[in-house]
Amino acid sequence: MDHYLEIRVLSDPEFPEGQLLSALFAKLHRRLGQAGEGRVGLSFPHHGVVLGGVVRLHGTEADLQALMADNWLQGMKDYTHSTAILPVPAGVSYRTVRRVQAKSAHNKRKRSIAKGWLSEEEALTRIPDSQQKPLRMPYIELRSLSNGNLMRVYVEHGPEQAHPQLGMFNAYGLSATATVPWF
């Protein structure tokens, strides 16, 4: 992970930043699933309550060139600006950027029934929908390609670390163990 590039969502009067970021992320997710091979990681350098309008892609120069060689940004070029592929500055820290998923009450009930811990009636009374707690972290909304449902990908930036941790990234460019440079 010695190189990076940034893709900035440009302000537009017709589309809010979050909607454009979600569209960009959906295209990037499909591209990473096809060609990322687990070697390209993402970070959101302006994250806070929301993820902000910048996505930073991290990898080797060759991996980033291969990723950007295809025209996967088609349809987003008027709404984004991409930097050149640049070397990571010296003296950076590192952090994980991972997906966080909350277990829904529905899934807890299904698991309890499947494991034989509870009957269907017991599961409905002992695991109410009100038990599910909402996550309070930034997210991107995507439409699932498999079932068409709208889903949220919650993103957490872990604590800064002095040394990188090697590992693989998922098709979202996120990992609970592998770190990306942070600057």
Q: Does any domain span residue 52?
A: yes
pLDDT tens digits for range 130-183:
776 778 899 999 988 778 888 899 999 999 999 999 999 999 999 999 999 999
Catalytic pick among 3, 29, 58, 157: 29
H or E stretch at 178: strand 175-182
Q: Does any domain span residue 163?
A: yes
Residue 50 in tokens: 């929301």
Q: Does any domain span residue 8?
A: yes
Residue range(s) defining the domain that contains residue 54: 3-100+156-182
Q: How many domains does the chain have?
A: 1
Compute how many other C-beta atoms are within 10 angstroms of the C-beta atom of residue 56. 22
Q: Does any domain span residue 119?
A: no
pLDDT of the residue at 90: 96
Q: What does each C-alpha distance from 38 to 55, 120, 168, 169, 172 come to in angstroms?
A: 17, 40, 5, 4, 9
Q: Does any domain span residue 90?
A: yes
Question: What CATH number does the domain containing 31 carry?
Answer: 3.30.70.2540
Name the one residue in this structure whose structure tokens are 């930043």.
17
Q: Identify the residue with better confidence: 106 or 67.
A: 67
Q: Does any domain span residue 120?
A: no
**Residue 29 is a catalytic residue:** yes
Q: What does each C-alpha distance from 2 to 22, 45, 62 come to in angstroms?
A: 26, 17, 10
Residue 153 sits at the vertex; the CA angle it makes with 151 and 154, to the nearest 5 degrees, is 130
Q: Does any domain span residue 174?
A: yes
Q: Does any domain span residue 9?
A: yes
pLDDT of the residue at 147: 83
pTM across the whole model: 0.84
